[in-house]
Amino acid sequence: MRIGAPGAEKPVARVDDTSYVDLSDLVDDFDEEFFAGGGIERIAPLVAAGTPTPFAGERIGAPIARPHQILCIGLNYRDHAEETGQAVPSEPILFTKSPNTLIGPNDDVRIPRGSTKPDWEVELGIVIGRRTSYLDDVAEARDAIAGYTVVNDVSERAFQMERSGQWSKGKSAETFNPAGPWLVTPDEIGDVLALDMWLDLNGTRRQSGNTRTMVFDPYFMVHYLSQFMVLEPGDLINTGTPPGVGMGFTPQVWLRPGDVMELGIQGLGSQRQNVIAPR
């Protein structure tokens, strides 16, 4: 985890719901240098021997520092592709989000200027643990994953679908990538392809799914992407969303200022965001 004011977060290891071990004297940040240097393995004994500190209502930041890139996979749940009326892809659909969209799990989400169709997407996020390219097989991809986190891939559908060009301009407004609260290492997850996911809007359940309906699993995606680009330590991959996005309802439902999104994934924690008006 990273806790503290925006831009001044300190790295910590969550012990339980009430306490953490402060790592700020040992680790600068959970960034490229940390992951590339075997940071997770290095801090394990320090966390075990550390003195827990009680949480005191600190802001929770994104669990990683701003990455080199945020890569996203579109239409990666069979049931989500069906609700949008689009074909299940034969290869992963790739787009990017600007890395400066990354915010904490409970920070405000701001609707951008000119927006008419802002939407939500609960997603499983993958964090890359080492510099990776041209992986030989899917099994090798497992070792390249540092951990998993909850992501809200906030979207502006009019920008994305109606303004031509790439999806990125419907995905990259400020605050459009809440992440966290924690980075969970793979050994802490029983089966990453059996995790329940949910999102509520103003107390009403909108998304309810499970990672088992992914078209391409996390290991396949990391292997696949490594054939086209170099993945850097700390990079974030948003892996797609289950059904229940606003675009899929009849009539369609869009975010408005004053709305509250609450979302989570089994074993990875939960988020809560207030939706606020454009600047």
Q: CA-CA distance, 158 to 2, in Å (whole number)? A: 33
Q: CA-CA distance, 67 to 104, in Å (whole number)? A: 14
pLDDT at 70: 98
Residue-wise pLDDT for 61-109, tens only, equals 999 999 999 999 998 998 777 777 778 889 999 999 999 999 999 999 9
User: Residue 45, preceding bond cis, omega within 30 degrees?
Assistant: no
Chain-centre distance for alpha carbon 119: 15
> CA 30 → CA 2, 34, 177, distances in Å?
8, 6, 17
Mean pLDDT value across residues 249-268: 97
Q: CA-CA distance, 40 to 56, in Å (whole number)? A: 25
pLDDT at 79: 79
pLDDT at 217: 96
Q: CA-CA distance, 22 to 225, in Å (whole number)? A: 34
Q: CA-CA distance, 62 to 54, in Å (whole number)? A: 19
Residue-wise pLDDT for 193-246, tens only, equals 999 999 999 999 999 999 999 999 999 999 999 999 999 999 999 999 999 999
Question: What pLDDT band is residue 140 in, cutting at 50, 70 and 90?
Answer: very high
Q: Are 1 and 12 in contact (CB under 8 A)?
A: yes
Specify the pTM.
Answer: 0.96
Pairing assessment for the beta strands 19-22 and 53-54 based on DSSP bridges: antiparallel
Radius of gyration of the chain (CA): 18
Residue-wise pLDDT for 166-194, tens only, equals 789 999 999 999 999 999 999 999 899 99
Which residues partner with 3 through β-bridges? Answer: 10, 60
Structure tokens at 42: 């290095």
Residue whose token pair is 């290869």: 91
The rounded percent of the chain whose pLDDT value lies above 90 is 90
